[in-house]
Amino acid sequence: MLRLIIPISITILSQICNLSCAFSPNMNSRERVNLFTRSTTLDSSSSSVVTKESEVTDPRLEGLALMLDDGTRKSHSIAENSAFLTGLLKGISTQDAYCNLLTSFYYVYKDMESAFDECEMEQVQILDDNKLRRIEGLCVDMDYFYGKEWKANISPSPFTQKYIARIKEVAKEKPYLLIAHQYTRYLGDLFGGQMIAGMTSRSLNLNDGDGTAFYKFDEIDSTKNYITEWYTKMNSLDLSEEQKKEIVDEANLVFEYNIGIFQELEGSPFKAMWSLVLSNLRDTFGRS
């Protein structure tokens, strides 16, 4: 049994470390990687195929995307990622903890996406996309865990109240800062969502897809292509250098708010880890 538990535990820890990168979408962007598009044309004289290569710039290596990479590096330090991931494991350790996490997310996304709907600033509208919206999936998950009357039986936690108050403040006073909320929340969800959904299902012994609609982006075929396009649009926004610096500061603040929500949760990260180990053991013996 021990021979099975050790490699399974290592695999799970590796997945958790990968989540650290998932919620730090720009962590490796300074490693310049040349992307090439290959186009083929027919040479009429020889009837042979001629291949041309054209270099495509990674949008994360320039503009506001690069500023966010550099500017949020402190928030994505080992210590901050440890706090984030420990909180995430607490959030999936028990059904009660996960329901509390979903409840906090419901209030955050309800106010955040309402702010996007009401915002008239073109720069925010350009990055807003129904494919990224999470409130519908959250409502599906809340229905699953709480039943249809859940709205009358929930309330935001203290830190969630601080978070949504900040959303309302920037929406009213400096709506361009909503870009930091789009960047931090949506890209984190998109990068890490599939992995978190799987971990949640295994930890809480849920049937595949039940209670994890929040993490599903069914309308996005290629995460990589979509995020590259999103970064490109972000870099093209008409923003002053001072506004860009403020957006970076706001992104760091949003990351702190998310850690705060996780730290409020009651639960044991070790229980979640053990549940994941047992789930993988069941899968292993089920295949043997």
pLDDT of residue 59: 93
Q: What is the DSSP letter of 207?
A: P
Q: Spell out the residues 6+ positions from residue 214 whose beta carbon is closer than 8 angstroms to its own.
A: 102, 105, 134, 137, 138, 140, 141, 189, 193
Q: Which residue has the higher pLDDT, 287 or 168?
A: 168
Tens-digit pLDDT profile for residues 16-30: 555 555 555 444 444
For 122-139, b/e burial (b = at least 16 CB within 10 A) is ebbeebbbeebbbbebbb
Judged by average pLDDT, the poorest of 73-82, 132-141, 219-228 is: 73-82
Q: Spell out the residues 6+ positions from residue 255 whose beta carbon is closer than 8 angstroms to its own.
A: 72, 75, 76, 80, 84, 184
- Average pLDDT (215-230) is 94
> Whole-prediction pTM value?
0.79
The residue among 256, 240, 103 whose CA lies nearest residue 166 is 256
Judged by average pLDDT, the poorest of 91-95, 130-134, 251-255 is: 91-95
- Average pLDDT (249-267) is 92
Q: Which residue has the higher pLDDT, 73 or 123?
A: 123
pLDDT above 90 (res 63): yes
DSSP, collapsed to helix, strand or coil, labels residue 25 as: coil
Structure tokens at 251: 């992104």
8 A C-beta contact, residue 193 and residue 216:
yes
pLDDT of residue 172: 98
pLDDT of residue 286: 56
Q: Which residue has the higher pLDDT, 171 or 271?
A: 171
Question: From the CB of residue 255, how many other CB atoms can be counted at a distance below 10 Å?
Answer: 23
